[in-house]
Amino acid sequence: MNIRAETKPRSKNKVKRRTAPKEVRRSQLIEATIDCIAERGITGTTMAAVTGRAGLSMGIVSLHFESKDNLLKATLTHLSQEVRSTWADKHSDETMTSAQKLWAVAMSSFDPHIFNPKKVAVWFAFFGDARYRAFYRQIVESFDDERGDVLAALCESVAPEGQDFDAVGMTDMIESLGDGLWLNALLYPETFTREYCMEQMGALLIAEFPKHYGRPQGADA
């Protein structure tokens, strides 16, 4: 009998790694994937790089995702759900008027939880990679369509009375401005700060809906 081996204390970390719930493992791997994409891009993000960042074995990532594409799909779905929950929480607040909801949903694009250098970099990694652009649309299009429908309905509800108003066109302006501000925040973070981006979005809403917005408001107004 190997007495030394029998009495040697077990590593607590190893026990945790073996017994952690499935969702904890998946979350660890997704967060590691976000980190890797932000630093290396999609091409440079390998299964080995992800497992190394997460401190897990290749067997674990293969068990949970089987392939890199499945891991990327899960990561993009996770990010999309984060974005959705950010604006949906605002939209579901029945204490707010339609005008307040429109402002809050538009400003939710700059919530610190989703608007930060790491996650913005990951989004644009998918936008910029020709192979994964279609991959992005397959996963995210339904989320984008839902937000677009919500914004269009809110725009319609606060539209100037007695005027022809293109709610869909206004929605496209809001979304396009948000995307452009995200890109500039990625390229020029010193200038395109969260506060500056919110000011620009606020300026658009004030110009289009002066009856409802007299001056810039905070994201939670």
Give the tens place of pLDDT for each residue, 91-113.
Answer: 999 999 999 999 999 999 999 99
Find where tokens 């891009």 sit: 41
Find where tokens 């339904």 sit: 142
- CA dist 166 and 154 (Å) reads 12
- CA dist 149 and 142 (Å) reads 11
pTM for this predicted structure:
0.82
Find where tokens 């989703």 sit: 114
Residue 115 corresponds to which tokens in the numbers above?
């608007």
Predicted confidence at residue 11, as pLDDT, reads: 45
pLDDT over 50 at 14, yes or no: no
- CA dist 99 and 110 (Å) reads 18
Q: Three-state SS string across the chain, please?
A: CCHHHHHCCCCHHHHHHHHCCHHHHHHHHHHHHHHHHHHHCCCCCCHHHHHHHHCCCHHHHHHHHCCHHHHHHHHHHHHHHHHHHHHHHHHCCCCCCHHHHHHHHHHHHHCCCCCCHHHHHHHHHHHHCHHHHHHHHHHHHHHHHHHHHHHHHHHHHCCCCCCCCCHHHHHHHHHHHHHHHHHHHHHCCCCCCHHHHHHHHHHHHHHHCCCCCCCCCCCCC
Mean pLDDT of 155-182: 92
- Percent of the chain residues past pLDDT 90, beyond the cut: 63
Which residue, 96, 78, 187, is CA-closest to 143? 78
Confidence class for position 16, pLDDT limits 50, 70, 90: very low
Give the tens place of pLDDT for each residue, 39-81.
Answer: 999 999 998 899 888 887 777 777 778 888 899 999 999 999 9
Cα–Cα separations (whole angstroms), residue 24 to 18, 35, 37:
11, 17, 20
User: Over the chain, what is the mean pLDDT?
Assistant: 86
Domains defined for the chain, CATH in brackets: 11-66 (1.10.10), 68-216 (1.10.357.10)
Q: Give the max Cα distance, the chain.
A: 91
